[in-house]
Amino acid sequence: MIEFNEEKPIWRQIYDLVCTRILSGEWSEQSRIVSVRELAADVGVNPNTVMRSYEKLEGDRIIYNRRGIGFFVSEGARGHILEIERTEFLTGELPAMVERMRLLGITLEEFEHRWNQLQNDR
């Protein structure tokens, strides 16, 4: 039986929250984002947890820290995020989806057909 985490750890959810805000344009590149304490107080999460998320974001070059001033969105952050999420999708969600398709007996043709339908709807 595969072990999986039913929900993501909180620090991960904060990480995703920051990424979402950057992708949506709410936080634009080179602009300052809320401090660790402000975000913690905003969502009701321990500041150490938020700090951990920020450290990971920094490590993934999505944000950077200017000492004494705060955290800023890195240049090219949107690109980084999309890249990371693409990789996550291709290595995680996609194989799971393909496995499920195989289980349900959905063929590539059926998939392509539905894909085209959805593209036309947009």
Q: Under the criterion CB under 8 A, does residue 100 sit at the interface with other proteins?
A: no
Among residues 10, 23, 84, 101, the one that binds other proteins under rule CB under 8 A: 10
**What is the DSSP annotation of 18-52?**
HHHHHHTTSS-TTSBPPPHHHHHHHHT--HHHHHH
* Least separation in angstroms between CB 57 and other proteins: 15
* Least separation in angstroms between CB 101 and other proteins: 22
Name which of residues 20 to 79 contact other proteins (CB under 8 A).
37, 40-49, 52
Q: Under the criterion CB under 8 A, does residue 4 sit at the interface with other proteins?
A: yes
Which residue lies nearer to other proteins by CB, 12 or 21? 12
Q: In b/e form, how buried is each residue of 11-43, taking b as 16+ CB within 10 angstroms?
A: beebbebbbeebeeeebeeeeebbebeebbeee
Kindly report the number of other CB atoms within 10 A of residue 53's CB atom.
25
Residues that bind other proteins (CB under 8 A): 1, 3-12, 37, 40-49, 52
